[in-house]
Amino acid sequence: MAVFLLVLSTTLICAGGYIINDYFDVDIDNINKPGKQIIGKAIAPQTAFYGYLLLTGLGLGLGIYLSLAIDYWKLITVFVVVIFLLYFYSATFKKTAVIGNLIVAVLAAMSVIIIMLFEPALYQLARPGDYYIAGICIDYITGISFFAFALTMVREIVKDIQDVEGDRRHQAKTLPIKFGVKTAKAIAIGFVLITMAALGYIYLDVLQIFGSLYLIYIGILIVFLAVIAVRLFTSATKNEYGMVSTLLKAAMFLGLGLMPFYYLLEF
């Protein structure tokens, strides 16, 4: 039940974050994605803002309940900080080079790390033998959180490249506008390559105890990321960058699949 409530809380806060992001982007979305725009067309901005307050409030309420339930009220600050960053990212930082991308990437990593924070067994250790198992779990979760961070960073850069036209008209200073599309692509590809190397580390240093099944799964992920890197390098149009963004979503889904796969093999 606790895990379900944690996922629900995180989902509600993220949903609120998407709403407030589109709320502040009504004018830009009218240029970048007029056919997909909802807020400002199907839904009035004021109604969307009330929806943001409702979802965020419910998510925060669940976060407070869970923090008190495990008798660690300081974790409430995690939810407050996440909500704060989501709001000010949408309102201000999104239009700033690198900073906006980093905020979203850090929040993606936090969605994984928060599982560790709400598992007292990982840091309230009673026996010496617990430290070994806890160490493996922490390394594993840290590796997956880095995966989420790096690929989210790549996807945010790709989205900025896609949205150059609308962002430039609204004086946004995103990475491709400030430093050029070629530089932005090089940075994104660099993060993909680093992620591929990190996947190799996860297998060799943490997951070798599970043998060939994990090696095959991670091998598929590495090949998939290599395809993404090549597609990103050769992309030149908005539609081609859109395809890369879709492939990145699939890669993130596959990467996060390592978590249930881990528990399946462990138990």
Look up the CATH number of the domain holding residue 109. Answer: 1.10.357
Same domain, yes or no: 116 and 213 = yes
Asked if residue 264 has pLDDT above 70, the reply is no
- What does each C-alpha distance from 40 to 45, 93, 167, 173 come to in angstroms? 6, 22, 18, 24
My answer on whether 48 and 101 are in the same domain is: no
Rounded distance between C-alpha atoms, residue 68 and residue 80, angstroms? 15
- Please give the Cα distance from 137 to 182 (Å, whole number): 38
Range of the domain at 21: 1-91
Q: Based on the domain organization, do 103 and 86 belong to the same domain? A: no
Q: Same structural domain for residues 140 and 46? A: no
Higher local confidence (pLDDT), 124 or 7: 7
Contact, 162 vs 242, CB < 8 A? yes
- 153 in the same domain as 74: no
- When comparing pLDDT for 200 and 46, which is higher? 46
Name the one residue in this structure whose structure tokens are 């796969």: 261
Question: Using 50, 70 and 90 to split pLDDT, how confident is the model at 216?
Answer: confident
Q: At which of 71, 91, 111 does a domain end?
A: 91
- Count of domains for the chain: 2
Specify the pTM.
0.81
**The predicted structure's pLDDT at residue 58:** 95
228 and 251 Cβ atoms separated by less than 8 Å: yes
pLDDT in tens, 106-147: 888 888 888 777 766 655 555 555 556 666 677 777 778 888
Q: Give yes or no: residues 167 and 224 share one domain.
A: yes
- Looking at per-residue pLDDT, the higher value among 42 and 15 belongs to 15
Predicted pLDDT at 267: 45
d(CA 210, CA 56): 39
Choose one of 91, 120, 152: the last residue of a domain.
Answer: 91
Residue at a domain's end among 47, 69, 91: 91
pLDDT in tens, 52-103: 999 999 999 999 998 888 777 778 888 999 999 989 888 887 777 788 889 8
Q: How far is CA 55 from CA 20, 67, 168, in A?
A: 11, 18, 31
Alpha-carbon distance values, 208 to 173, 213, 225, 262 (Å): 44, 10, 21, 12
